[in-house]
Amino acid sequence: MQHVLFVLGGFTVVMSILTLLAGAVALLGRLFTARAAPPVPAPVPAPVPAAPGIPPHHLAAIAAAVAAITDGRGRVVHVAAPPHRAPAWAQHSRAVEFASHRVRWDWTVAGPPHLDPPPTGKPESKP
């Protein structure tokens, strides 16, 4: 019985401290929101001219994402599509990977053992 009372006492202490912490955090949250100035509506940004090669629906999605992230305070200034070339680090990585492989010059044709006899240096006579 003594062990059960010890466990219940510890549980009560932990829950009391957690309740006090939750109350303190809620109080701080109310203090900070009461001091915050009301949001001022941002002016509507001018539409971004369409860049060649970028579809208008992509520009609309980019502008919507910027507005959602910045609560309407952001502005899209420039949008450009990157060239479709592999970056230098990727090309270097491929070169390092391929250079690390051992080149086997003595390989034969892959597959089952072949019936051709090994070369002996003498010309073979054909029947």
Residue type (1 letter), 24? A
Is residue 82 pLDDT above 90, yes or no? no
* pLDDT single digits (tens) 105-120: 666 656 566 566 666 7
DSSP 53-91: TS-HHHHHHHHHHHHHHTTT--------PPPSS--HHHH
Q: Tell me the per-residue pLDDT of 26-74, one tens digit each, with 9 for 90 and over.
A: 999 888 887 766 667 767 766 656 556 778 888 889 999 999 998 888 8
pLDDT of residue 19: 97
Given a cut of 70, whether residue 80 has pLDDT beyond it is yes
pTM above 0.85, yes or no: no
CA-CA distance, 67 to 76, in Å (whole number)?
9
The pLDDT score that the predictor gives to residue 112 is 60
Cα–Cα distances in Å, from 122 out to 108, 114, 116, 118, 125?
21, 20, 15, 11, 9
pLDDT at 18: 97
Whole-number Cα distances in Å, 3 to 7, 8, 21, 98, 100: 6, 9, 27, 66, 64
**CB-side exposure of 12: number of CA atoms within 13 Å?**
6
**Rounded distance, CA 127 to CA 119, Å?**
18
